[in-house]
Structure 1
Amino acid sequence: MLRMLVIVCLVGIVSTARAQKNDFTTWTKLKLNHKIDSRFSVLGALELRTKDDMGMIDRWGIAAGGEYKVSSLLKMDLGYELHHRNLGDLDWKFRHRYYMGATVSFRYQWLAVSLRERFQQTFDRGNTESRLRSRLKLAYSPSKGIVSPYFSIEVYQSLNDAPFWRAARTRYRPGFEIDLAKRWVLDTFYCYQYESPKGKHIVGVEVGYSF
């Protein structure tokens, strides 16, 4: 079932990608996770993204936040992000964002399933953009092993003037999470982002450290 879902989604990605112009980019991120107690953790991240067929930097980013484990099934999160974006012609700008959300997750044998709902607001030179992000993630998570392949689909809905349930952006993301050591995790992925009029092919690497 998981294999068929991934195949169907990948076929949809290819069909969508052929219908519009696309950019080839990279995303690189370092994530930090400090566990205060059994329920509460504080988070941090540094990020670099490229654009224009990897020809220039798109943005630098820094993030801080926290997670609270309500139960074995439910987790809440809250955070802040600061982006330094490249507008071209040597012009850069800062953009601020906060987010809050909840993730429901469960596991059945080798299949790990999670559904995340996240509200975010972005402040950009006097303009405010509000969006709801819905992400479904399926992962092969064996009890023994260091590699966990996964597939996720995330839909962005605009909460400004656009009609509700009209997707402003969609991301399809297959990847692999690899336990490098006791505290280190490597996430390598490909992501196709559909957003009219220009889509993105994204190759990404995320390194996570827990302490």
Structure 2
Amino acid sequence: MSRILLNTKIWLLMLLLGVVSSVYAQDDDFTTWTKFKINHKIDSQFSVSGDVELRTKDDLNKWDRWGLTVGGDYRAYSFLKLGVAYETHLRDLGDSGWKFRHRYHLSATASFRYQWLKVSLRERFQQTFDSGDAETRLRSRLKLSYAPTKGIVSPYFSVELYQSLDDAPFWRAARMRYRPGVELNLAKRWSLDVFYCYQYEPSKGKHIAGIEVGYSF
């Protein structure tokens, strides 16, 4: 537990530094992310999933991308889940028109619960291919959730750090995401995630209003 508390303090310090940096962003954009997800649990350890996503950009004036993802998860232990997925994106590049790119990612998520608090740490390795070029990144996400034993509402807050595995220094953050939101179990099979996300990058920032609808069977 002491290790978890130490990691939590480190992430909270990173959050503070990121929020201070975001105040000085000069070219922030307001965007929306909308996603529909389907998850099928094969047994107690294996599940498969898919989702389709639409994003906007330039203060809602343009489409940003359509995305399609398929993947699977394996619960190795009660506290550890492993995942693999493949994504393809159709992106609006302005004068260059709409173009495809695709990526795969591998992830490991460790989750711990203490009374009503649920803490999860996800490490994700991803590689993106775009017109012959490849971009490799490691994404580290810490998520804190209010998880009552009864009830349908679960507020949460997450911090995600993107690190380049290409030519950039490893500990230089390529991107940071700060995401408060609320997850709701609407029915036995349906769920809803409503969130706000601030995405910080050295060149610009994004204010993102998002909604994700999930269906499990």
Q: Give the alignment's TM-score, normalised by structure 1.
A: 0.94
The 5 A counterparts of 1:142-153 are 142-153=148-159
Structure 1 contact 83–96 (Cα < 8 Å) conserved: yes
Partner of residue 77, structure 2: 71
Letter in 2 for 1:104: A
CA offsets per residue over residues 64-104 of structure 1, 9 Å max, x none?
A: 00000001000000000000000013701100100001000
- Counterpart of 1:121 (choices 117, 121, 127) is 127
Unpaired runs of 5+ residues, structure 1, are none
Partner of residue 161, structure 2: 155
Structure 1 CA distance for aligned equivalents of residues 17 and 153 of structure 2: 26
- Counterpart of 1:107 (choices 88, 109, 113) is 113
Unpaired runs of 5+ residues, structure 2, are none
Post-superposition shift, 1:14? 4.9
* 1:18 and 2:23 matched: yes
Partner of residue 145, structure 2: 139
CA offsets per residue over residues 131-159 of structure 1, 9 Å max, x none?
A: 00000000001111110000000000000
Structure 2 CA distance for aligned equivalents of residues 122 and 11 of structure 1: 29
Post-superposition shift, 1:7? 9.4
The 5 A counterparts of 1:177-192 are 177-192=183-198
Residue correspondences, number: 209
Partner of residue 53, structure 1: 59
Moved over 2 A (4+): 4-18
CA offsets per residue over residues 31-55 of structure 1, 9 Å max, x none?
A: 1100111100001000000000011
Partner of residue 94, structure 1: 100
Structure 1 CA distance for aligned equivalents of residues 11 and 162 of structure 2: 20
- C-alpha change, 1:124 and 1:209, in structure 2 (3 Å) is same
Structure 2 contact 11–142 (Cα < 8 Å) conserved: no
Q: Give the alignment's TM-score, normalised by structure 2.
A: 0.91
Structure 1 contact 82–95 (Cα < 8 Å) conserved: yes
Partner of residue 205, structure 1: 211
Structure 1 CA distance for aligned equivalents of residues 96 and 162 of structure 2: 30
